[in-house]
Amino acid sequence: MVEDKSAFVAFERVQKSYDGENLVVKDLNLSMPKGEFLTMLGPSGSGKTTCLMMLAGFETATHGDILLDGVSINNIPPHKRGIGMVFQNYALFPHMTVAENLSFPLEVRKTGKSEREEKVKRALDMVQMGDFAGRRPAQLSGGQQQRIALSRALVFEPELVLMDEPLGALDKQLRETLQFEITNLAHELGITTVYVTHDQTEALTMSDRVAVFDDGRIQQLAPPDELYEKPQNSFVAQFIGENNTLDGVVQEIKGDTCIVKLDSGDIIDAVPVNVTKVGERTRVSIRPERVEFNRDRLHDDAHTLKAEVLEFIYMGDIFRTRLRVAGTDEFVIKTRNAPDQARLKPGQTIEIGWMPEDCRALDA
Ligand SMILES: Nc1ncnc2c1ncn2[C@@H]1O[C@H](COP(=O)(O)OP(=O)(O)O)[C@@H](O)[C@H]1O
Ligand SMILES: [Mg+2]
């Protein structure tokens, strides 16, 4: 592969093994333009932190190259890479005041005293912590400590910032506030960010692009809407958002549609995403909010199947209904709570449908 010189951050054929036997990062290729906010999302143990540590320089790749601004950084030590970092457990120096914590990365870089003071003040103001310069970390709440950690990562104006589950220890409300602050700051300052999380909502709301990791590989790399609406395989479809699946066999493939015979005997149309031949087993995936059951709202091209209502849950803004469809009891549909939207009752039989393009034939 040719080195991508236009990328600001690039992983090229990167592999990592800790024990010389098992690869925890299998073949990572990734390139990020300057200013991008990219999130590595995946279950625990999928290799996200390892990738971040290699980029930071605390771990070395077993194979392949990592490039920063077109230059291989494999032999550059961490402190010379000019990268800001934020972790889940704050890692502030407990014996230093907030101002001293922020001043430290500048002292290491031999910044003069008056410039240091000016930059510390600016970095604290940026995270609305200007009044806390004299406090020690123990005198701050979790959210305040994390703001300081963020401001310490930004104080020396790095071009690249790495964040590993920085909001993992905070409660939901604070997490949402800080998600918003982090993305705003990153975009305002034009910082390139690699963010790691196992929380799909966080990934979808914060990122320009998301790399979904599983088993040491990127399963899909795409902007949030594409990831949700056009998952490339069953893992991504299941991991991102809620999803209905029906298993069957490919009967026919013609261009951008295929015919699938479900195990229940029902025959449906789908988009062939990663099925390649007739006779192959497939798992079709349909999002709950793309299923319609009001006859007059169903488009002529929509496919219909008989369904029995098993459970109806009123959730305020939406109704969540669980159905028995084509041999599964776990088919879920979500409908908006509109004045004219029917409330279904368990035991009721309905006809459901969806547009063929909302039904994707994936790996079994
Ligand atoms: N320092 C290490 N030594 C040995 N194995 C490690 C080390 N760090 C991580 N691993 C293993 O590598 C795999 C990937 O871990 P990690 O990169 O931390 O995943 P994630 O951040 O996605 O949870 C896991 O199986 C983990 O146990
Ligand atoms: Mg991790």
Say which residue the tokens 């240091």 belong to: 116
CATH of the domain at 351: 2.40.50.100
Q: Under a CB-based contact definition with an 8 Å cutoff, are residues 156 and 109 in contact? A: yes
Per-residue pLDDT of the chain (364 residues; tens, 9 = 90+): 445 557 999 999 999 999 999 999 999 999 999 999 999 999 999 999 999 999 999 999 999 999 999 999 988 988 888 899 988 766 889 999 999 999 998 998 889 999 999 999 988 988 889 999 999 999 998 888 988 998 898 898 899 999 999 888 788 888 898 899 899 989 998 999 999 999 999 999 999 999 999 999 999 999 999 999 999 999 999 999 999 999 999 999 998 999 999 999 999 999 999 998 999 999 999 999 999 887 777 777 677 899 999 999 999 999 999 999 999 999 999 999 988 888 899 999 999 999 888 999 999 9
**Based on the domain organization, do 127 and 212 belong to the same domain?**
yes
- The one-letter amino acid code at 19 reads D
**Based on the domain organization, do 119 and 13 belong to the same domain?**
yes
Q: Which domain holds residue 339?
A: 243-363
Residue 200 lies in a domain: yes
Closest ligand 1 atom to the C-alpha of 59?
Answer: 1
CA–centroid distance, residue 262 to ligand 2 (Å): 38
Residue nearest to atom 1 of ligand 1 (CA): 18
Nearest alpha carbon to residue 279 among 257, 252, 247, 245: 252
Integer Cα distance of 306 and 353 in angstroms: 9
CA–centroid distance, residue 65 to ligand 1 (Å): 20
Residue 353: in which H helix or E strand, if any?
Answer: strand 349-354
Could you say which ligand is closest to the alpha carbon of residue 41?
A: 1
Residue 174 lies in a domain: yes
CATH of the domain at 170: 3.40.50.300
Could you say which ligand is closest to the alpha carbon of residue 43?
A: 1
Residue spans of alpha helices (H) in 2-69: 48-56
Strands (E), the chain: 9-17, 23-32, 37-41, 63-68, 71-72, 83-87, 160-164, 192-197, 209-214, 217-222, 244-254, 257-262, 267-272, 281-286, 303-314, 318-325, 328-336, 349-354, 359-363
Closest ligand 1 atom to the C-alpha of 25?
Answer: 14
> How many domains is the chain partitioned into structurally?
2
Residue 215 lies in a domain: yes
What's the DSSP call for residue 299? -
CA–centroid distance, residue 353 to ligand 2 (Å): 40
Instruction: Say whether 45 sits in a helix, a strand or coil.
Output: coil
| Site to substitute for ligand 1 among 15, 49, 199, most atoms within 8 A of C-beta | 49
Task: Count Cβ atoms below 10 Å from residue 337 Cβ, excluding itself.
Answer: 12
Residue nearest to atom 2 of ligand 1 (CA): 18
Residues with CB under 5 A from ligand 2 (ion): 49
Nearest alpha carbon to residue 119 among 143, 135, 99: 99
Could you say which ligand is closest to the alpha carbon of residue 164?
A: 2
